[in-house]
Amino acid sequence: MAVALAERSLRIRVAAYGEGHVAVAAGRFLLAEAELGAGRFERARDDFAAVLPVWEKAFGAGHANVGECLFGLARAHARLGDRVAAYDAVRRSRTTMEHAFDPSDPRVAGIHAEWLDKFAGLLRDIGRADEAASAAAAAAKARPNTP
């Protein structure tokens, strides 16, 4: 159901704006997420890959949307068994997210810790246990103290 709704939304966006528009890329990103959840990993990978250059051009390579897209791409590669491509994308995503959410800024410490947890999980999934442990430790350190 989610894929069908995302496909419909994308068709509407394409009709309204045309391919290459940032709103179309946003719709394609939502479709890629739905495809990933539905086990359509190749389609998800292709859609994340199509979104990436549009968002890099529209927002800049250091924007959080670009980091999220790279992380989605990494997840799709991982599900397809391409650990090398998954690793490349997750590393790029982490660099992008650290640029978007300055780890030294206490106002975004929770967001930074959440992303480090996500990176740790994916790194573990692709067999990078040492880097996963390092990211998990960094997440624990970055997590703000909560009562």
DSSP strands (E only) in the chain? none
Distance (Å, rounded) from C-alpha 5 to C-alpha 61?
Answer: 29
Nearest to 103 by CA among 93, 91, 115: 115
The pLDDT value given to residue 147 = 46
The residue count for the chain: 147
Distance (Å, rounded) from C-alpha 67 to C-alpha 61?
Answer: 8
Distance (Å, rounded) from C-alpha 51 to C-alpha 87?
Answer: 19
The pLDDT value given to residue 106 = 82
pLDDT band at 141 (very low <50, low <70, confident <90, very high): confident
Stronger pLDDT, 52 or 98, i.e. the higher one: 52
Q: Which amino acid is at 131?
A: E
The pLDDT value given to residue 144 = 76
pLDDT tens-place string over residues 63-115: 999 999 999 999 999 999 999 999 999 999 999 998 898 878 888 888 888 99
pLDDT band at 120 (very low <50, low <70, confident <90, very high): very high
Instruction: Name the percent of the chain in helix, strand, coil, to the closest 5.
Output: 80, 0, 20
The pLDDT value given to residue 146 = 53
User: What percentage of the chain reaches a pLDDT higher than 90?
Assistant: 82
The pLDDT value given to residue 129 = 96
Stronger pLDDT, 110 or 146, i.e. the higher one: 110
pLDDT tens-place string over residues 6-49: 999 999 999 999 999 999 999 999 999 999 999 999 999 999 99
